[in-house]
Amino acid sequence: MLQIPFIRDNKDRIIANLAKRNIDATEMISEVLTLDETRRSTQAQLDNTLAEANTLSKEIGMLFKSGETQKATILKGKSANLKELSKELTETLNEVSEALSQLLYKIPNVPNDSVPAGSTEDDNEEIFRAGDIPTLYDGAMPHWELAKKYDIIDFELGNKIAGAGFPVYKGKGARLQRALIAYFLDKNTAAGYTEYQLPHLVNEASGFGTGQLPDKEGQMYHVTADNLYLIPTAEVPGTNIFRDVVLNESDLPIGITGYTPCFRREAGSYGAHVRGLNRLHQFDKVEILRVEHPDNSYTALDGMVAHVKTILEDLKLPYRILRLCGGDLGFTSALTFDFEVFSTAQDRWLEISSVSNFETFQANRLKLRFKNKDGKNELAHTLNGSSLALPRVLAGILENYQTEDGIVIPDVLVPYTGFSIID
């Protein structure tokens, strides 16, 4: 959520940068400033009225003590009017404050100046590419056919148990999945991230805190009886660790990592680009999150990007990095870099990580602050990234490492799997 003082001081820049998201925010921002002015003037009126009522109350008490009952009675009538006025002003203030909050919840984060303008993923900017795309043997298969051939993932069984988008991993497929999770966590903790095991359901306040609510309510599974939501990413419970927390400046930076299953209702569309592991309702992901001093958050973002690079280089997968355009940028993000691996069998790029800086957008919702060197509370910056989302990484491994004799396991994973080939 944007801060009111920031909006007051940067109205033109905010409108210009939100235009990168293809949003004309002129009317919304003007309405925010109008509501804020009304809120402040109403608050001032209320404060003055309460102060006057307090002074009058003391005066009435002194008049009664001195026996000037008639004067006291007259002032009591004036006091009653002030109380009624303060009640009306309080109701107005609450209504205006609620309207302002609801409007602010609808405004996405302001893109960083480096974010390119654009409407769709086709307008994203490729900034890095590495790794050799392998030449596969004649008859090479996409991962959903390999999964069936080697009996390592059963999509039909998942459909029977739950529905489309809920695969069942079997045998060496399940072992490879577990190996990836363990390897990612070990890689992250070696880089200084503290591992957490997090809840897989969150309350409404947590959803609002990180910006999934109300923006993505339709994409989240809602347990209505308990008003809880299945998490779409570990970002939600992980970042909410710090909701309503005031840190010391010396506590920063904070880095955590955690593995969770993720649940998303998004149905997508039909076709090969959503077949198999390409788009799921339930999938596994290892996340990294950071809480940073505002002065250091973009250096930290570069560090997170460099860290994810090392994972893909260890796996020896061909990949590229995209700077997302405004039209493809997430609601809460100021700047996002997407990582994609190349699927040789599908001849397409598959997104496997997003690394984002939210600046103060989430922290303002979360009331996540730190005491700066002057002893004043200041909003922290939050960042997060996938390291990594498993389905498309697994798809990339199955497809790029396939041979006529079987699927070779990347060297870095063999100590975790206990086998070097799926055959």
More confident of the two residues 64 and 269: 64
> For 210-219, what is each residue's pLDDT tens digit?
999 887 888 9
**pLDDT confidence of residue 271:** 55
Q: Which residue from 346, 339, 310, 342 is spatially nearest to 322, judged by alpha carbons?
A: 339
> For 348-362, what is each residue's pLDDT tens digit?
999 999 999 999 999
CA distance 35 to 24: 19
Answer yes or no: are the C-beta atoms of 291 and 96 closer than 8 Å.
no
Neighbours of 45 (CB within 10 A): 16
Residues facing residue 348 across a β-bridge: 343
> For 52-62, what is each residue's pLDDT tens digit?
988 998 888 88
CA distance 64 to 295: 60
**What three-state secondary structure class fits 299?**
helix
Q: Residue 47 above 70 pLDDT?
A: yes
% of the chain residues with pLDDT over 90: 88
Answer yes or no: are the C-beta atoms of 53 and 81 closer than 8 Å.
no
Residue entry with tokens 């799926």: 422
> For 237-283, what is each residue's pLDDT tens digit?
999 999 999 999 999 999 999 999 999 997 554 555 678 999 899 99
Give the mean model confidence (pLDDT) for residues 31-49.
96
Cα Rg of the chain, angstroms: 27
> For 298-342, what is each residue's pLDDT tens digit?
999 999 999 999 999 999 999 999 999 999 999 999 999 999 999
Answer yes or no: are the C-beta atoms of 305 and 322 closer than 8 Å.
no
CA distance 235 to 127: 25
> For 108-123, what is each residue's pLDDT tens digit?
999 999 999 999 999 9
CA distance 181 to 63: 77
CA distance 162 to 145: 21
**pLDDT confidence of residue 273:** 65
- Residue type (1 letter), 87: K
Prediction pTM value: 0.92
Residue entry with tokens 């958050």: 297
Answer yes or no: are the C-beta atoms of 305 and 387 closer than 8 Å.
no
> For 180-197, what is each residue's pLDDT tens digit?
999 999 999 999 999 999
Average pLDDT, the chain: 95
Give the mean model confidence (pLDDT) for residues 365-371.
97
**What three-state secondary structure class fits 320?**
strand
% of the chain residues with pLDDT over 70: 98
